[in-house]
Amino acid sequence: MKNHILVFSFFLIFLKTGCGLETKTLPQFYEKDLADVSKIVIVDGNTGYKKTITDNIIIEDFLGDIKDIKFILDENQKARDGFIYSITLFQDDEETFQFGLTQVNDYYYHTEPDIYPIVDEFYTDLNNKEE
């Protein structure tokens, strides 16, 4: 009986860790080089407005601020409605990656540190006109 419990415990641990969904950072999600990002579009989910950034220095600063944030898989993967901000990265005019503050590639995450204040301050401080 003890052996069955031990085997079952290892099986549960294997399932929890072996599905390939682990804590990641933006560079680990992004399949290209972040240095090649030439445009970022941020959509405010509350208003529907968006701001487009094409200035390389601003892009580098923003990506530098968020690149080390850890996206930690949420246990609750039930579908959710809405988003706070959506961020889309481009190389030239080709969309290369899109993610939300709590969703990447159809999975839900929380972030450490919290990405929301960083993106919110960045979006608010941008002098770009909302589209």
The answer to whether 37 and 26 have CB atoms below 8 angstroms apart is: no
Going by the DSSP 8-state scheme, the letter that residue 15 receives in this structure is H
Residues 6 or more apart in contact with residue 20 via CB below 8 angstroms: none
**Residue 109, by phi and psi: left (phi above 0), alpha (psi -120 to 50) or beta?**
beta
* Dist CA 6 CA 4 (whole Å): 5
- pLDDT tens digits for range 74-131: 999 999 999 999 999 999 999 999 999 999 999 999 999 999 999 999 999 998 878 8
CA 69 to each of CA 38, 54, 112: distance values in angstroms, whole numbers, following the listed order: 21, 22, 6
Instruction: Read off the pLDDT band of 13 (50, 70, 90).
Output: very low
Going along the chain from its start, the domains and CATH numbers come out as 21-125 (3.30.1490)
